[in-house]
Amino acid sequence: MISPTLTQEITALHAGICSALADPRRILLLYALNEKPRNVSELAEELGISQPTASRHLNMLRERGLVTAKREGQSVVNSLADQRIIQALDLLREVLASNLQSQAALAESVTDSKE
């Protein structure tokens, strides 16, 4: 049986982190910040999105504790709050790649059996 504590933790995880990762542009922002801290203009340019859109996504990532912001002169520089988020994303990408390989192998075996 699933414990109430696990249920609470999963609910908090979903509300905090999973909702922040629901948009692929936010995940791309995290990967960009993994390379180096940047301001919103640099991030918008790299991702090919408008500055207001980048700013809105960064706000959500900051609210969820995945990104930190620090004022440096006229600019606000955004950074990853915790490197482990990239490790978690990389692991999820590995799972996705493995699933896709399995599906491709299954599709190939079905096609081969029809010939």
Q: Compare 33 and 114 and report the one with higher pLDDT.
A: 33
Q: Compare 109 and 64 and report the one with higher pLDDT.
A: 64
Q: For 73-78, which contacts have Cβ atoms below 8 Å and span 24 or more sequence positions? A: 75/39, 76/39, 76/40, 77/37, 77/38, 77/39, 78/33, 78/37, 78/38, 78/39, 78/40, 78/43
For residues 87 and 112, give the distance between their C-alpha atoms in angstroms, rounded to a whole number.
Answer: 37
What percent of the chain stands above pLDDT 70? 98
Mean local confidence (pLDDT), 70-77? 95
User: Would you say 58 and 45 are in contact if contact means Cβ atoms under 8 Å apart?
Assistant: no
| Residue 82 pLDDT greater than 90, yes or no | yes
Mean pLDDT score of the chain: 92
Q: Is 1-82 CATH 1.10.10.10?
A: yes
What pTM does this model have?
0.83
| Residue 112 pLDDT greater than 80, yes or no | no
